[in-house]
């Protein structure tokens, strides 16, 4: 079954270009707040997934019926729709980004995924949940470490 996608408007390309310039030229400042670190983590995750051959369909998708429901990235990996949660954390954090996803967050993510799938005209045959974990250097100068956890068990068997 082929998945149909729309091309994003030109403003999305311009926003992506401006964001790439910003992060490449200035990097992440040492005194960045949590929101900026999150945006940098999502940008890094998108670049990582694009290099792996993923196609990014949407980012920061919000459920129109409940704006609290958000999906960081929705990607296509060959014929599989991948819902991606990005976790950007200090490399010195006590827990990993993967371990930081609480049962409450998992329940919220599942609700968001269901809302996204229900809004589509055609339900994809295959979909999965991935986590991209970004370890940010504490001093802002070191190299990022990126871990990609594919097909994390989140969907109940009857859901597919």
| CATH number of 19's domain | 3.40.1350.10
Number of structural domains in the chain: 1
Q: What's this model's pTM, rounded to 2 decimal places?
A: 0.81
The confidence band for 45, taking pLDDT boundaries of 50, 70 and 90, is: very high
The confidence band for 152, taking pLDDT boundaries of 50, 70 and 90, is: confident
Is 69 inside a domain boundary?
A: yes
Please state whether beta strands 127-136 and 80-90 pair in parallel, antiparallel, or not at all (unpaired): parallel
Cβ–Cβ under 8 Å, residues 81 and 124: yes
3-state secondary structure of 23: helix
Greater confidence, 4 or 152?
A: 152
Rounded to 5 degrees, φ, ψ at 66 are -150, 95
Is 119 inside a domain boundary?
A: yes
Is 159 inside a domain boundary?
A: no
Name beta bridge partners: 131: 85, 149
The confidence band for 75, taking pLDDT boundaries of 50, 70 and 90, is: very high
Q: What is the largest CA-CA distance in the chain?
A: 47
Is 2 inside a domain boundary?
A: no
Q: Which of 45-49, 111-115, 121-125 has the lowest mean pLDDT?
A: 121-125
Is 70 inside a domain boundary?
A: yes
């Amino acid at each position: 079954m082929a998945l149909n996608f729309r091309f994003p408007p030109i403003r999305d390309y311009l926003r992506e270009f401006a964001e790439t310039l910003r992060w490449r030229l200035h990097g992440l400042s040492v005194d960045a707040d949590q929101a900026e670190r999150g945006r940098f983590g999502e940008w890094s995750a998108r670049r990582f997934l694009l290099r792996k051959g993923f196609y990014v369909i949407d980012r920061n998708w919000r459920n129109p019926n409940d704006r609290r429901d958000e999906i960081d990235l929705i990607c296509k990996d060959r014929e599989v729709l991948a819902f991606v949660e990005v976790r950007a954390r200090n490399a010195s954090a006590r827990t990993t980004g993967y371990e930081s996803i609480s049962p409450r967050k998992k329940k919220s993510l599942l609700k968001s995924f269901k809302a996204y799938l229900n809004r589509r005209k055609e339900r994809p045959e295959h979909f999965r949940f991935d986590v991209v974990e970004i370890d940010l250097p504490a001093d802002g100068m070191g190299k990022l470490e990126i871990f990609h956890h594919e097909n994390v068990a989140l969907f109940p068997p009857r859901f597919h």
